[in-house]
């Protein structure tokens, strides 16, 4: 069920998530992302364990719990962000039995920690890695029934392509430094939407629902910082396990 029009939006109710990270993000944009990521997927979140890849300051994990998820498992490489997450959850009175946040390399943690759940969040992460084969195999190993993706994508390309780049690893809005980084830089990639779907299909998932960002932005014409979604440079969709 969608939030009632009279109810405050998520980041209006929980403004602390606007201050627990240095990553710049406007409240309008975050509230509309909540609509697409959480509200549109409420039916598959309720009563489920959610694995939050690159969980950042726990905003989407908390949103999943608020919507009815039974448990969240976050994987995050930066200790400060995990500390902020745990403090926020404690301040909000979330029982410790409902969450677990693991520090480390997402790709390794998905395998080595035997992380399992019914839903995987892959939000704002695919363009901060190029280790796609490893990542997709890790997602499959969780046994998840659904994967919710929100990502920047290549435009004006035909087919499943990725564009490589050499990304800095200094800030919270940049790639996480791993064992492959050299001189604080890491090879990452931006995939086309077709590439993301092909990779997910290779491990047994097919498209189940795609957010209509054109309709959302028309309904909220005054929302700021929505150009990436309006122009199709960023997409949100859900896939379902079929094999």
Q: What domains are defined for the chain?
A: 10-152+206-238 (3.40.50.150)
Q: Locate tokens 């405050």: which residue?
A: 8
CA angle 120, 129, 81 (to 5 degrees): 65
79-116 pLDDT per residue, tens? 999 999 999 999 999 999 999 999 999 999 998 888 99
H or E element in which residue 139 lies: helix 132-141
148: CB partners within 8 A, 6+ apart: 37, 41, 119, 120, 121, 122, 123, 236, 237, 238
DSSP state of 182: B
Q: Report the pLDDT value the prediction gives residue 4, as an integer from 0 to 100.
A: 56
DSSP state of 181: -
Mean pLDDT per 10-residue run, the chain (243 residues)? 68 94 85 98 98 97 98 97 97 98 95 92 97 97 98 96 95 90 95 98 98 97 95 97 93
Give Cα 180 distance to the centre of its chain: 22
122-136 pLDDT per residue, tens? 999 999 999 999 999
Half-sphere exposure of 89 (CA within 13 A, CB side): 28
Tokens for 237, please give them: 């969709």
The rounded distance, in Å, linking the Cα atoms of 169 and 173 is 9
Q: Report the pLDDT value the prediction gives residue 2, as an integer from 0 to 100.
A: 47
The rounded distance, in Å, linking the Cα atoms of 193 and 238 is 12
H or E element in which residue 90 lies: helix 79-91
Global pTM value: 0.95
Residue count of the chain, please give it.
243
């Amino acid at each position: 069920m969608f939030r009632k029009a009279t109810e405050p939006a998520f980041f209006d109710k929980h403004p602390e998530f606007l201050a627990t990270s240095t990553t710049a993000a406007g409240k309008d944009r975050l509230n509309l992302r909540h609509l697409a990521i959480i509200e549109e997927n409420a039916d598959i979140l309720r009563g489920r364990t959610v694995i939050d890849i690159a969980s950042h300051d726990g905003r989407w994990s908390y949103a999943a719990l608020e919507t009815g998820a039974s448990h969240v498992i976050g994987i995050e490489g930066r200790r400060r962000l995990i500390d902020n997450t745990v403090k926020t959850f404690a301040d909000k009175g979330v029982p410790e039995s409902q969450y677990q946040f693991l520090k480390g390399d997402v790709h390794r943690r998905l395998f080595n920690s035997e992380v399992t759940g019914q839903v995987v969040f892959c939000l704002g992460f695919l363009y901060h890695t190029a280790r796609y084969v490893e990542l997709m195999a890790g997602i499959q190993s969780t046994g998840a029934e659904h994967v919710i993706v929100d990502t920047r994508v290549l435009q004006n390309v035909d087919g499943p392509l990725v564009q490589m780049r050499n990304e800095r690893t200094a800030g919270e809005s940049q790639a996480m430094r791993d064992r492959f980084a050299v001189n604080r830089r890491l090879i990452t990639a931006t995939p086309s939407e077709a590439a993301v779907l092909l990779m997910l299909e290779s491990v047994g998932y097919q498209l189940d629902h795609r957010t209509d960002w054109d309709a959302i932005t028309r309904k909220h014409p005054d929302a700021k910082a929505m150009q990436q979604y309006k122009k199709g440079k960023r997409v949100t969709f859900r896939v379902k396990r079929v094999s």
